[in-house]
Structure 1
């Protein structure tokens, strides 16, 4: 079920009303049934994968905690990881791995799969379960933290199942830790007007970001990336620039709606963004972007790799970013995008002392340094995202090639609509101004801290904006595919 659908507009109020009507002892069951319905509304047959992941990690968590020998604990941890990673490989990466292995052997003249076998079975027929990358990583973090002795296992299988499938963040995160979310799911939450207000406002903000801004930018982006051989290089540059903001607003919109939906029921989800566009370095950008997932990679992959000096820190960065790229999708474009960011991050870290020496020699003020860092960082991030958006590597390289092939053309109005182009820039400016002053987590203060008359006026303006400027097509969120 999409957040930006009429089904959700009916489903969500029913869930909130039922939540507060029921005794808190039975709310877990209401939310669990609602969460499973939410997931099954999109692809009912694949709910079995969610249940398998839940049951395996529930069992492994308890057995790990009760095991006396470290080898037994490690065995259950391996079972948990193999199950979750196995589900990912079969349902997300099987076709990717099989085609790349076949290509490798074809290069040496070895035929692994006969043509008739390819015709009789197509790996593309395997469905990609939405949200599988999110809920498998969430349950793995639960198992790993029990193995490390950081948390105790949840004995109530229903409440654990709710932790795995909680509908606001089930499909695209944030990736919540059990130590943070499970205690909330077991608490007796009283209805509070402030929670309802803040939650509804955050959801409204998310719908505005998605329907009015992100989807509008997506129209220009789609047209620009449809013609990577365009003779108008400025339109390609603008297309990559718009995509940087499109993916940010699209993902931020989902997160805002998820956080708002949980907030209306008194639950606090982790903030997934912290003004990443204002970052003045790559290091800072990756601390502010998709925070729950980057923290997951840091805690469960990076730290174990560099522990006791097993692997150098810089090499570990490349391993982490390689996994980050594959996590985003079964396509080399995501891997190249992620490894380019790893290279730029390592380059920034390794040249830090040299750059600071040059800045000191030139006596550049701090604000000038930050401005240079911001311009350079945003430009390079925008260029790497060309790989993220492109369907294949040849498309991305052609796009970048023509992007930097300067011609006597200043044409950027590829949609033949100057109003839409102007509106896109204005909307980016408005959103970034709001984020600059309120950040990603306090947007609701724009409304709650105003007099009643102003609030009513803002509500009217919001409704008119959605009616007049929302893009009339039901686009799924970009991160649904991951």
Structure 2
């Protein structure tokens, strides 16, 4: 079920009404059933995988809690990780790995038709479960934390299942930790009108980001990337720039709606963005972008690689970003996008002392350094995201080659200057709001204002959505991951 669908318009109010009308003891069941319906509405059979992942980690968690033998604990942790990773491999990466392996064989002169393999083993008929990358990582983090002794194993199967399947963040995060979400699922929640108002404002902001801004930018981006050999280099450049903002607004829109929906129900989800496009360095950017995933990688991959496997920081960073690339999708374009960002991060860290010395020597003002850093980060991100957006590495290289063809000044590839103007206006508006309020305090724009100002704000919002919304029920970009 899409947040920006008509189905969600009646589903969510019904969930909220039922939640607050029910006795506290039964609310978890209401949310669990609603979450399963939310997930199964698109493809009911895929609910089996969600339930299977839940049962595996629930059972492994109990077994680790009940044994004092470290070796047995490791076996159950290994079982949890292998089964969850196995689900990802089979349902997300099997066709990709098969084609990659056959490509290697072909390089060495051993040719096997990929169509024959796909048809023989029915690989091409395997469905990609929505949100599988998110909920498998969430359940694995629970198993790891139980193994480390940081949290107790959850004995209530229903509440653990709700932790895995909680509908606001089920499909595209944030990737929650059991230590944060499970205690909230057990506490008694009373009606807090201010929290509900905050949540509704966050949801409204998310819908604005998606319907008015991200989907509008997507129209120009789709047109630009549909013809990477276009002679209009500036238009391609603009398409790449717009995609950088589109993917940010699209993903942060989902996060805002998820956080807002949870807040209406009395729960607090972690924030996934912290004004990333105001970052002045690569390291700062990755601390502000997709925060829940980056914290997951830090705690469950980077540190074990450095501490347990004794890898160098350089090796660990390369491994982490390789996994981040694969996590985003079964295509080498995602891996190359991620590794390009890893290279920038490594170069930035390695050159830190040299750059600091040069800046002091030539007395370059801090504002100039930060401003230049912000431009470089955005520019580098914009170019690297061409690989993220393109269907193949070859197509991305062609796009980049033609993007620097500056012979043509034509940018209006949509044939509509108003739409192009609106793209710039809404980017400026959103960036201004994020600069002053960040990604997590949007409600301060309206909350605690007079009734007259609130009324004007709500009417203005409705008018904006009606007049400027792109009402095509476009799926969220991160749904594919």
Q: Would you say same fold, with TM above 0.5?
A: yes
Displacement over 2 Å in runs of 4+: 109-122
Q: How does 1:308-457 map to 2 (within 5 A)?
A: 310-407=310-407, 409-457=408-456
Q: How does 1:16-35 map to 2 (within 5 A)?
A: 16-35=16-35
Structure 1 equivalent of residue 259 of structure 2: 259
Structure 1 equivalent of residue 79 of structure 2: 79
Structure 2 equivalent of residue 170 of structure 1: 170
Q: Contact between 2:102 and 2:114, CA under 8 Å: does it hold in 1?
A: no
1:116 and 1:444 map into 2 onto residues whose CA distance is 55
Three-state SS of the structure 1 residue aligned to 2:176 is: coil
Range with bigger deviation, 441-450 or 165-174: 441-450
How big is the shift at 1:309?
Answer: 7.4
How big is the shift at 1:433?
Answer: 0.4
Residue by residue over 1:227-269, the C-alpha shift from the partner in whole angstroms, topping out at 9 and shown as x without a partner, is: 1111111001100000000000000000000000000011000
How big is the shift at 1:472?
Answer: 2.2
- Give TM-score scaled by structure 1 length: 0.98
Q: How does 1:296-315 map to 2 (within 5 A)?
A: 296-307=296-307, 310-315=310-315
Range with bigger deviation, 440-449 or 112-121: 112-121
Residue by residue over 1:283-305, the C-alpha shift from the partner in whole angstroms, topping out at 9 and shown as x without a partner, is: 00000000000000000000111
1:137 and 1:200 map into 2 onto residues whose CA distance is 28
**Compared CA separation, residues 31 and 309, structure 1 to 2 (3 A):** closer
- Give TM-score scaled by structure 2 length: 0.98
2:217 and 2:113 map into 1 onto residues whose CA distance is 42
Structure 2 gaps of 5+ residues are: none
How big is the shift at 1:103?
Answer: 1.3
1:137 and 1:249 map into 2 onto residues whose CA distance is 23
Matched, 1:107 2:107: yes
How big is the shift at 1:123?
Answer: 1.8
Structure 2 equivalent of residue 469 of structure 1: 468
1:306 and 1:411 map into 2 onto residues whose CA distance is 50
**Compared CA separation, residues 153 and 356, structure 1 to 2 (3 A):** same
Structure 1 equivalent of residue 293 of structure 2: 293
How big is the shift at 1:195?
Answer: 1.1
Range with bigger deviation, 116-125 or 321-330: 116-125
**Residue correspondences, number:** 481
**Compared CA separation, residues 276 and 181, structure 1 to 2 (3 A):** same
1:351 and 1:241 map into 2 onto residues whose CA distance is 27
Three-state SS of the structure 2 residue aligned to 1:444 is: helix
Residue by residue over 1:149-202, the C-alpha shift from the partner in whole angstroms, topping out at 9 and shown as x without a partner, is: 111000000000000000000000000000000000000000010111001000
2:168 and 2:224 map into 1 onto residues whose CA distance is 33
Three-state SS of the structure 2 residue aligned to 1:236 is: helix
Structure 2 equivalent of residue 188 of structure 1: 188
How big is the shift at 1:477?
Answer: 0.2
**Compared CA separation, residues 312 and 364, structure 1 to 2 (3 A):** same
Structure 2 equivalent of residue 68 of structure 1: 68
How big is the shift at 1:114?
Answer: 8.2
Matched, 1:53 2:60: no
Structure 1 gaps of 5+ residues are: none
Matched, 1:242 2:246: no
Three-state SS of the structure 2 residue aligned to 1:227 is: coil
How big is the shift at 1:449?
Answer: 3.1
Matched, 1:283 2:301: no
Structure 2 equivalent of residue 273 of structure 1: 273
**Compared CA separation, residues 78 and 337, structure 1 to 2 (3 A):** same
